[in-house]
A and B are shown apart, each in its own frame.
Chain A
């Protein structure tokens, strides 16, 4: 379980997050919805301890990670995988090397175990035959699936997705959303995804939190979003896609 408790984050004089609290339980898919530049991706980075809040606390499985040293954060981070918006694949490495990179870096596994895990992820991502290709030669959807495969390589309990369908065509978007649902249904993996596409939220999210002007104005099961009378939520429900 991941929890942000009364977290405030400022960049210079500008307050990005103002005493926000959010909880993500295991085995649930939680969406964080909001317009671009509101601080949605920042929340994912806070959850991983990649940035520190100005005040407030961040808990992962009950452990307060707010002031942990970078070295102490590494084992915590391995409980979560992250899929960055631009995938953040290493462009000079092949697909197989991208998938095995962190296993070789951080776990002292025998070669056959590394190869087994990479094969599993290649199969899972439907990328058989592309193992030796560089990321630049793949389509956007395929690159996203490699990034998801990489996020799964440590067998985490939770995956964080930063705008998982941004820039993808409708078919690829559908595949990625189905993949996230399958991971929850078949592997029991929880997911947090930030998005500005409301249809994605209704398609897969169990719960949704709406971030607006540095605060969560809604945090409940997805179905209840329609019952909100907040003017911003009413407007996004009618527009479907938030201002890019």
Chain B
């Protein structure tokens, strides 16, 4: 009896491993296709502009809300901590490093994973379920070139200014809180920010933007393309896309920081 149970569990694990490897293989081919169809960007420039508006301009409010929140919170909490050591004047420095290197890009990535990733997953999933993606293939149009590549290109282009916006608004919020809550003069705050920022601080932060763009777009689109089983299937694939891309954003955030900070 225990042997049979172990064998059944073993078989199930092997089957799941096979499925996982197969999915990874499909994802790799799908991603490769999205990149190799980039030369067709000129043909799909309208789709690119639509997607750039969706993931860029339309995402500004959510990016502002998250970055202002985190900038304000950091200013209050870190300011309180520094006050204990009599080092309140270092608030600008510590907030700037946290926002530019880590929290600005990370929160933007998570917000866009929820916003842009869910939209991609739901839209492409609905197209898959209603056979519109099959229709594209049946009538001779490459669905990856038409639907995924413009999304990827738009995210690659738009995530960088969004990161800059997240950094800027987060720091502005922190500066305001420093002035009104901790009574730190703005001159002192900004003086602790600008002269001490070095190139690698920006490289760490801004390198994350294209990495997150690739993760969020490809994972959510792949899940949309893999949707099956009616409207419930669209929901499942959308959730899967958000969960996986958010997790990968967190992991990538750590590794980009580690690699850049160790090597620059």
Contact = CB atoms under 8 A, between A and B. Distances in A.
Contacts of A95: none
B158 to A, nearest CB: 21
B134 A74 contact: no
Interface residues of A, number: 23
B135 interface: yes
Given A82-B135, A84-B131, 11 more contacts: A50-B138, A70-B137, A77-B140, A84-B135, A86-B130, A88-B130, A88-B134, A91-B130, A102-B139, A102-B140, A106-B139
A229 interface: no
Contacts of B142: 70-71
A106 B137 CA distance: 11
Interface string A68-91: 001100110110011011101111
B139 A77 contact: yes
A58 to B, nearest CB: 14
Interface of B: 130-132, 134-135, 137-142, 146
Contacts of B130: 86, 88, 91
Contacts of B138: 48, 50, 77, 82
A122 B156 CA distance: 40
Across chains A and B, which 10 residue pairs bring their CB atoms closest together, nearest first? Answer: A74-B140, A88-B135, A88-B131, A102-B139, A84-B131, A106-B140, A82-B138, A105-B141, A88-B132, A48-B138
Interface in A96-151: 102, 105-106, 150
A205 B132 CA distance: 27
Contact of A45 (B132, B134, B140): B134
Nearest to A147: B135
A150 B139 CA distance: 9
Quick one: which of B131, B139, B140, B146 has the most chain A CB within 10 A? B139
Contacts of A216: none
Contacts of A88: 130-132, 134-135
Interface of A: 45, 48, 50, 70-71, 74-75, 77-78, 81-82, 84-86, 88-91, 102, 105-106, 150, 154
B131 A106 contact: no
B134 A84 contact: yes
Contacts of B135: 82, 84, 88
B140 A86 contact: no
21 contacts: A50-B134, A50-B138, A71-B142, A74-B140, A75-B140, A77-B138, A77-B139, A82-B135, A84-B135, A88-B130, A88-B132, A88-B134, A89-B132, A90-B132, A102-B139, A102-B140, A105-B140, A105-B146, A106-B140, A106-B141, A150-B139
Contacts of A102: 139-141
A50 B134 CA distance: 7
A75 B135 CA distance: 15
B134 A78 contact: no
B69 to A, nearest CB: 34
Contacts of A75: 140
Contacts of A84: 131, 134-135
A154 B131 contact: no
A81 B131 CA distance: 14
Contact of B139 (A70, A71, A78): A78
A127 to B, nearest CB: 19
A226 to B, nearest CB: 34
A154 B134 contact: no
A95 B27 CA distance: 34
Nearest to A48: B138
A70 B31 CA distance: 16
Contacts of A70: 137, 142
A78 B140 contact: yes
Contacts of A106: 139-141
A97 to B, nearest CB: 12
A84 B129 CA distance: 12
